[in-house]
Structure 1
Amino acid sequence: MMDRILSAVDAVSLALSRVAQAVTVILVAAMLYEVAARYLFGAPTLWAFDISYMATGTLFVLGAAQALREDAHVRIDVLAARLPARLRRGIEAAVFLLALAPLFAMLARVAVQRAWRAWQQGEVESVSPWAPLMWPFYALLALGLAALALQIAVHGLRALAGRPDVQPET
């Protein structure tokens, strides 16, 4: 049963990383369009800045859980590499399960509340001439943070059980 839950969290992380890849394509297309509109036609868009910061923030947060799953985050482990494997896994399990997972779960909860409030109030970007609705952006950030919190917990559970991390998808 536990393996199925861990695999389900891994599958969610992978799926969200695929969404992040699609968002990257949208970001590149939007920026190419903006450059062409601005420099070739002298007609900059109203929406390019908003799309760029929303897409960039979204793709990083949606890809973070998969990056953790693949152990792709930057870490400096000079001390950890010298510790016995069992002690290293114990420390990692404690940090991930007792500190990081609750912290990111709280961040996800705050992000969900922010997205909900933005949806209820019809919040728009207040400093943008385009004034896009903000709840879709906030909701994607909340989804990414929730997935990261779950993947952190999975990572901690695997460290606690002494299981190797899942290998990257090919």
Structure 2
Amino acid sequence: MGLFFVLRSVALNIPLPFLLKRFRYCRANVLSHSYCLHQDVMKLACSDITVNSIYGLSIKLLAEGLDSLLIFLSYVMILKTVLSVASHMECLRALNTCVSHLCAVLLFYIPDISLSVIHRFGNSSSPFLQILLGYVYLLVPPLMNPIVYSLKSKHLRARIMRVFIK
């Protein structure tokens, strides 16, 4: 399955550099992010970027939409199995784990899709907002992942609460 997802990612993203290569660039070669973002490079082109914009957004929505659907279906199957077999306490533990996983997934998907949409349709939005959202997309999911999963531990949850309540 891992090999399938790597191949799927490569197959969907291979056309992007070739689509960018066909453009003529006349704007300043200054990107708004510290990393190369397809939408950012697209905006430097003097040509019509409609095909790139539609392709980039559609693969983003299709890939993440399919992933979201598969994640949702797997959690439905897990919860259906756990709720039919387990005791009340085990059901609560399973729900706790599922909620943590869903929060981690949302922490990744929401900034990613927001960044993609704001670059394509937010022409009047502030460049600062685009830069901020780019860094949120890059930094928040890996930083928040350990916090989301550590909240399941009573000991760590109590220590985190003490830090924020002081």
Scaled by the length of structure 2, what TM-score is found? 0.35
The structure with the larger Rg is 2
